[in-house]
Amino acid sequence: MSATGKLAGKRIAVLAADGVEGAELGAALAALKDAGAQTALVALRPGRIRSMNVHQPSDLVKVDSKVENASAADYDGLLIPGGYIAPDLLRQSAPAREFVRAFDAAGKPIAAMSHGVLVLVSTGLASGRLLTSWPGVRDDLVNAGATWCNQETVRDGRILTSRTPQDCAAFLRELLPLLAGEPAADPAVTRADSDPPQQAPSELPDQSLRWLAAPSLGAMLSLAIVGVGVVAANRSLRKRGGKEVAAGTGEAVQDS
């Protein structure tokens, strides 16, 4: 069965901020549109927010509504993409936290990708849940009372979480049935203990930083020369202005 039309008539709020992971946001928006859903990007400020490709700035994305002006009553579900920066900004925002809690209180589905699950921690919705996340924030979830599972996706009732951007395809397969109100194909199994933490950091951010271009000697010298030129020009303007003031004062004395 094609996914097209599966979410026809559904309105989905996408809660994001500057620093949202562009790959996750883009893939999710495309899948929701293909399924017939209407989406609205809800953010901390109006205008456009900057997405990221891991640690590197990426595209600007148009905001549809500021979170203070958005109401969970207007939507059928909530999606929180990840990223290293955006979820941390969202979890510090009282209006964003209240927006998320309103979906839970109304019994509406909530999906969080990778770091996005941190917003669930700060809203108090992680306790007693089976969740996954970016491995680096595993301890945040465990300390908040969740059971952390080291797998691509985890669905616990109305909450769906994913682990990393590489697990995006698996997440999207689970996202559409969740938002359509379908039961999970494989109900979550109750577990008492979380999976252990990783023993080495993920390679993804390390690779990204490794390939970032270092400024060349020529570029640094050019910037230094420009800086010296700006300082010299400012000094010249100040001196010229002082001479003109002095000359004007002298003329005034002679006229009197």
| Structural domain spans, the chain | 11-200, 213-256
Report pLDDT for 253: 41
Report pLDDT for 120: 98
Report pLDDT for 27: 96
Determine which one of 108, 115, 138, 155 is catalytic.
115
Mean pLDDT by 10 residues, the chain (256 residues): 76 98 96 98 98 88 98 98 96 98 98 98 97 97 97 97 96 97 81 88 57 51 58 62 53 43
Report pLDDT for 162: 98
Query: Which pTM does this prediction carry?
Result: 0.79
Span 39-50, pLDDT tens digits: 999 999 999 999
Name the token pair of 67. 């979170």
CATH homologous superfamily of domain 11-200?
A: Class I glutamine amidotransferase (GATase) domain (3.40.50.880)
Report pLDDT for 211: 46
Is residue 34 within 8 A of residue 96, CB to CB? The reply is no
Report pLDDT for 199: 86
Is residue 79 within 8 A of residue 99, CB to CB? The reply is no
Q: Is 115 a catalytic residue?
A: yes
Q: Tell me the one-letter amino acid at 108.
A: K
- Interhelix angle 168-179/22-34, nearest 10 degrees: 40
